[in-house]
Amino acid sequence: MFKSFSDFKKFAEQNNVKIVDFKEMDLAGRWHHLSVPIDRFTENVLEKGIGFDGSSYGYLTVEKSDMVFIPDLSSAFLDPFTDIPTISMIGDIYEIGTPHKRFSGDPRYVASKAEDYMSKSGITDSCLFGPEFEFYILDSMEYRVAINDIEVHLNSRQASWNSINNPYENKDTNLGYKVLPHKNYHSDIPLDSSYNLRNDLVCMLEENGVPVKYHHAENGGPGQVEIEVEFATLKEIADRTQKLKYIVKNGALKNGRTVTFMPKPFFSEAGSGMHVHIQMFKDSKAVFYDEKGYSCLSDTALYAIGGILKHSEALMAFTNPTTNSYKRLVPGYEAPVTICFAESNRSSVIRIPGYAISPSDKRFEFRPPDAMANPYLAYSAIAMAAMDGILNKIDPVKEGYGPVEMNMYALSAAEMAKFKGLPKSLEEAAIALEKDHDFLLAGGVFTKDLISSQLKMIKKDAEEISIIPHPAEFMKYFSL
């Protein structure tokens, strides 16, 4: 937002800003924050940074945990949720030293290195990403994990189960207009109960540097929606991803609703993904376009697809880093399970939009990711897989990845056996990353320490969840 400290000070004075809030990223992709009065934010802070405990973020051990973050003025925005006028901005993480040195495990630094790596390759000077954000807007969420009580209760005013005795109506009369399971796609008001809220959220996003392509009701009946944003470069789109989740969650809470980006909050309903569209340009020319190629894709685009498909199992440790992620990736819910590609095929891992026909629109979509991912690491990992494919000319056709222009969910077991599948669990994704990660180390973009930290984190999550009894286990086994 700001190119200089003087620009920042001028804006702060014009908007009566009293507080400056700094957002810092942990490995899992959560924002933490620290705030200072406006008078304490000086040019000296931009030079020397602000100290914090890196061990509390999972970056360092407690006996040597001091780190600093230095705010990035270009990431600043006027926070729409604070009572006192506040400017928020993202901090870059540094190791202690003279001078300070960028911390190699800072996810935002990884994104910067990935951009530099792509630029230095000479293949592209502008790699653009366009994610689609699916999530549920709900009216209540309750959970308990206790010794004698394991339960979750989710509710949505538009859900079919509230067709009678709806607790959200102020009167005794239920007014109807409920959405059946799997029938919410592009539903109109009054069925689309979050439409006005989404308009408010989209306006806030636009006002705070997150351009929105469109928004609509998605397939899941109990309030699933989608916001698709405009394309941007890798680090910028990761910044926008964090900002979108921040604005959507807090905007919903301000209006008495709650939001979850969990990939599979509801049994037998549509899961929420974060499909990622990818484009490349060089000297303003579309690198991925060739009118004579399959679906008008260039060889470079096909090699990029080949690289992503080859490394897709390992990518999952970054793009789908939770146990819940793998409850979404099951047949029958428009979530991919088979490693293949084709035009317009939503059952494949990579889909080429059939309606994107002009050179400037030509792209492909990687469908497995979800919004549980740390966006800086996920987008960077996808970019590194694509670059590996391009540099090593990995042809997805010769590798047997397709194009497969059929419904993969309708294939027989024998037919499905011809194709590799995505990991079925977080443990399988961790094993895949352990076996296949050299492509991430190219150019020093990822480090072995960071990959080790990611593996440690997801393995711990998998182990913790695996030992908790599941309510469905009582249904199946209690009376045996």
DSSP string, 195-248: HHHHHHHHHHHHHTT--EEEEEE-S-TTTEEEEEE--EEHHHHHHHHHHHHHHH
Summarised one tens digit per residue, pLDDT across range 83-129 is 999 999 999 999 887 778 999 999 999 999 999 999 999 999 999 99
Please say whether the beta carbons of 279 and 386 come within 8 A: no
Residues 334, 126: Cα–Cα separation, whole Å: 30
Is 113 among the domain residues?
no
- So what's the pLDDT on residue 167? 57
Is 97 among the domain residues?
yes
Domain finish residue from 50, 69, 103: 103
Whether 215 is catalytic: no
Note the pTM of the prediction, 2 decimals: 0.95
- So what's the pLDDT on residue 8? 94
Domain finish residue from 103, 136, 166: 103
Residue from 24, 72, 79, 132 carrying the catalytic annotation: 132
| Claim to verify: residue 396 and residue 458 sit in the same structural domain | yes
Summarised one tens digit per residue, pLDDT across range 317-343 is 999 999 999 999 988 777 888 999 999
Average pLDDT over residues 332-358: 89
| Claim to verify: residue 71 and residue 171 sit in the same structural domain | no
Residue from 215, 277, 311, 367 carrying the catalytic annotation: 367
Whether 53 is catalytic: yes
Whether 473 is catalytic: no
Number of structural domains the chain divides into: 2
Kindly report the three-state secondary structure assignment for every residue of 103-157: CCCCHHHHHHHHHHHHHHCCCCCEEEEEEEEEEEEECEEEEEEECCEEEEEEECC
Whether 240 is catalytic: no
Is 366 among the domain residues?
yes
Q: 5-9, 125-129, 407-411, 470-474: which has the minimum mean pLDDT?
A: 407-411
Confidence of residue 58 (pLDDT cuts 50, 70, 90): confident
Whether 100 is catalytic: no
Residue from 115, 192, 218, 343 carrying the catalytic annotation: 218
Please say whether the beta carbons of 304 and 389 come within 8 A: yes
Please say whether the beta carbons of 198 and 226 come within 8 A: no
| Claim to verify: residue 212 and residue 296 sit in the same structural domain | yes
| Claim to verify: residue 95 and residue 137 sit in the same structural domain | no
**The residue to which tokens 């990711």 are assigned:** 369
Beta strands in 319-360 (DSSP E): 338-343, 348-352
| Claim to verify: residue 190 and residue 281 sit in the same structural domain | yes
> Does pLDDT of 174 surpass 80?
no
Task: Find the farthest-apart pair of alpha carbons in the chain and give their distance in angstroms, rounded.
Answer: 72
Estimate the crossing angle of helix 426-435 against helix 448-466, to 10 degrees.
160
Residues 403, 343: Cα–Cα separation, whole Å: 8
Residue from 226, 269, 290, 370 carrying the catalytic annotation: 226
- So what's the pLDDT on residue 406? 78
Residues 329, 311: Cα–Cα separation, whole Å: 17
| Claim to verify: residue 61 and residue 145 sit in the same structural domain | no
Tell the burial category of 164 from Cβ atoms under 10 Å away from its Cβ (0-12, 13-18, 19+): exposed
- So what's the pLDDT on residue 146? 95
Average pLDDT, the chain: 93
Residue from 13, 43, 53, 463 carrying the catalytic annotation: 53
Whether 346 is catalytic: yes
| Claim to verify: residue 154 and residue 70 sit in the same structural domain | no
Angle at 285 between CA 280 and CA 288, to 5 degrees: 40
> Does pLDDT of 16 surpass 90?
yes
Whether 415 is catalytic: no
Residues 329, 267: Cα–Cα separation, whole Å: 13
Residue from 24, 72, 92, 134 carrying the catalytic annotation: 134
Average pLDDT over residues 400-427: 84
- So what's the pLDDT on residue 302? 97
Estimate the crossing angle of helix 195-207 against helix 234-254, to 10 degrees.
140
Residue 407 vs residue 265, higher pLDDT: 265
Q: Which residue range is the domain that position 49 belongs to? A: 16-103
- So what's the pLDDT on residue 327? 96
Is 8 among the domain residues?
no
- So what's the pLDDT on residue 171? 53
Of 401, 419, 316, 417, give the one whose Cα is nearest residue 364: 401
CATH of residue 48: 3.10.20.70
| Claim to verify: residue 435 and residue 323 sit in the same structural domain | yes
Residue from 275, 351, 363, 437 carrying the catalytic annotation: 275
Is 329 among the domain residues?
yes
| Claim to verify: residue 373 and residue 407 sit in the same structural domain | yes
| Claim to verify: residue 201 and residue 76 sit in the same structural domain | no
- So what's the pLDDT on residue 130? 97
Confidence of residue 53 (pLDDT cuts 50, 70, 90): confident
Average pLDDT over residues 339-367: 92
Beta strands in 295-426 (DSSP E): 338-343, 348-352, 364-366
Whether 365 is catalytic: yes
| Claim to verify: residue 159 and residue 94 sit in the same structural domain | no
Please say whether the beta carbons of 373 and 328 come within 8 A: no
Residue from 32, 102, 216, 346 carrying the catalytic annotation: 346
| Claim to verify: residue 39 and residue 155 sit in the same structural domain | no
Residue 362: DSSP 8-state:
-
Whether 134 is catalytic: yes
